[in-house]
Amino acid sequence: MYCQQCGAAIKAGDIFCAECGTKHQQPNESPLSGSTKIIATKKLDISWIFKSIGIFILTFMGVYIVIGFMIFALLGDNSINLNNPMLLTLIIISNLFVFFIGGFISAYLSPGITLKEPAIAVALLATLTNLLTQDIGTSFVAWIIPYFIAYFGAKYGEQLQQVRRA
């Protein structure tokens, strides 16, 4: 059994975590029976927001390097028209993919339950990017979709993390 806050191993009879002091409720069912529900902790870990920002930036770089090679291989020339609807669709789908995968990786690598941290990180990145490139009204709305996509990616990352721990 592991602490939901810090990820440290705890004994079955322990009420409090020896590492962080978080109170634990005794489980009613075994971790393998039924579906495991992930509950976000109330404490926000600022360090994982910054780590998640780094993970998102690295994920963006990796995905866009692959996409750049794909576009170059498909088009065969160095002139890329950004008004091409197919290219814009590819960029939008790539961004959504990066939001989900970045949230997934952040939650999977974190020691405890981190659902809000990747979502806040991607919301900050999306808002800052949109403030630099678009008007304020658009940037305020544009963080909502990335926030929820990163949140759901983090939820799946935490589920995989719990399955691997069990």
pLDDT in tens, 6-49: 777 777 777 777 777 777 665 554 444 445 555 555 678 888 88
CA torsion, points 33, 37, 41, 46, in degrees to nearest 10? 110
* Mean pLDDT taken over the chain: 78
- pLDDT computed for residue 74 by the predictor: 76
Mean pLDDT of all residues in 124-137: 74
- pLDDT computed for residue 30 by the predictor: 45
150: tokens are 């990163």
Q: HSE (CB half, 13 Å, CA atoms) of 54?
A: 6
CB 90 within 8 A of CB 19: no
Indicate the range of 30-39, 57-66, 116-125, 128-137 predicted with least confidence. Answer: 30-39
What residue has token string 């970045």?
102
- pLDDT computed for residue 147 by the predictor: 84
